[in-house]
Amino acid sequence: MRKLHDLCAWALIFVNALTVSTASGQPQSRLRPVPRASLCVTEGTVEELPGDQLSVNVPKMRAYLNAYTEPVVVATRFTFLGPTAQDVPLGSGEIRRQFGLKLRAQDACNLVYAMWRIEPESKLVVSVKTNPGQHTSAECGNRGYRNIKPTRGAPVPVLRAVETHGLRAEMKGDQMRVFADGVLVWEGSVGPEAMAFDGPVGMRSDNARLQIEFRAGPAQAGRTPGCRTGGEESE
């Protein structure tokens, strides 16, 4: 009887652990580190460091995984090391310091963002950029952005230099969830427009020096987007 009680207790602990893990955006057991060689860097430079770490020291970085993954989920552990030596404005002319994730990144004109803005205001912003029939930054520029309001959200921590944080984004259909440091900070629908295109996961930074561990789900066999270099998103 005692053995049965102990077995039930352990089972309950396991279920509770699994529940907490799922609610906080975990587990990440299906996510794998992405090496530099698996990234297509379309703007800026991403350097490789030991221990599955990546380094960014340029004002504008745009990259995506040269593979489609299933499920659509991407996660990072990153350290914000401070501003870059020079700030470069966005296509709108605004100076913004930020780091974020890209999902369904078909091209420079059609993709979904989860951006952790650092300056001038600390917040998490989910955006859909859609420009049907256009595929290059020269065609769409910084047009087609729409910020999406969550059905449930929470503030993100203020990013300070030399602090390490986690950012994870996942999509199931048009439903999206974003976690910062394991806490759900954005949940809602990105709308039907975001389902009109498809692409890999990726990342982006503006005017921030970073050390990043980038993780994604298993690659789909025989399906790759190909590496398209050149200027990427303007906004």
**Domain residue ranges in the chain:** 1-28, 31-216
SS3 13: helix
In the chain, the amino acid numbered 55 is S
| Whole-number pLDDT of residue 94 | 92
CATH number, domain 31-216, options 2.40.50.220, 2.60.120.560, 2.60.40.420, 3.40.50.1860: 2.60.120.560
pTM: 0.85
Residue pair 123/155 in contact (Cβ under 8 Å)? The answer is yes
Give the model confidence (pLDDT) of 51-107 as tens digits. 999 999 999 999 999 999 988 999 999 999 999 999 999 988 999 999 999 999 999
| pLDDT tops 70 at residue 23 | no
Give the count of alpha carbons within 13 A of 41, CB side only.
Answer: 17
| Whole-number pLDDT of residue 104 | 96
Residue 81 CA to residue 161 CA, distance in Å, equals 5
Q: CB burial class (10 A; 0-12, 13-18, 19+) of residue 1? A: exposed
Give the model confidence (pLDDT) of 33-53 as tens digits. 999 999 999 999 999 999 999
| Whole-number pLDDT of residue 20 | 35
